Amino acid sequence: MNKYMQKAIDEAIKGVNQGHGGPFGAVIVKDGKIISTSHNEVLKSNDPTSHAEINVIKKASKKLQTFDLSGCEIYTTCMPCPMCMGAIRWANISTIYYGATSEDADMIGFRDQVFYDESYQNLKNIARTECLQVFRIWSQKPDKIMY
């Protein structure tokens, strides 16, 4: 067993036993060193975004004091859902190890698989012109930092 994945599994078990959320854990590693560990806390925090991957990225970026986690790897006990996959990309984490699949998560009642199949629905476009004006303010900001 890979030691980082074992740690992610330990987190997942801890989360379930404590009633914090679903059976999911994650670990972020850089240069062979564990930066952060976390588990799903949707129930504990009443927060639908509190997936293991989101939490572990928040912890790692806080610890490393940067939004750019390039060079980090993530170990997660289940294939990241589209939300978490997006978070991993924004964090510039390029290597992802996962255990269970999204089909496996579906089998125990989670909705991951539906997310992959759905296209963007119920999106209504309004006030684009005014929103673009804010983009202009940003673009003209001399001290802006891209992320």
- Residues 17-76 binding its own copies (CB under 8 A) are 17, 19, 21-23, 25, 42-43, 45-51, 54, 57-58, 61-62, 65-69
**Shortest Cβ distance from residue 139 to its own copies (Å)?**
5
Q: Calculate the alpha carbon distances from 65 to 18, 35, 62, 124 in Å.
A: 29, 12, 5, 36
Can you read off the two tokens belonging to residue 89?
């990309």
**Shortest Cβ distance from residue 71 to its own copies (Å)?**
13
State the Cα–Cα distance between residues 70 and 86, nearest whole angstrom: 15
Note if 53 is an active site residue: yes
Catalytic residue among 11, 41, 53, 73: 53
**Shortest Cβ distance from residue 33 to its own copies (Å)?**
19
**Shortest Cβ distance from residue 117 to its own copies (Å)?**
12
Cβ proximity to its own copies, 31 vs 142, nearer residue: 142
State the Cα–Cα distance between residues 108 and 95, nearest whole angstrom: 26
Give φ, ψ of 5 to 5 degrees: -65, -35
Size of the site for its own copies (CB under 8 A): 86
Cβ proximity to its own copies, 29 vs 69, nearer residue: 69
State the Cα–Cα distance between residues 39 and 58, nearest whole angstrom: 12
Assess contact for 39 and 23: CB atoms under 8 A.
no
| 103 belongs to the binding site for its own copies (CB under 8 A) | no
Q: Which residues are catalytic?
A: 53
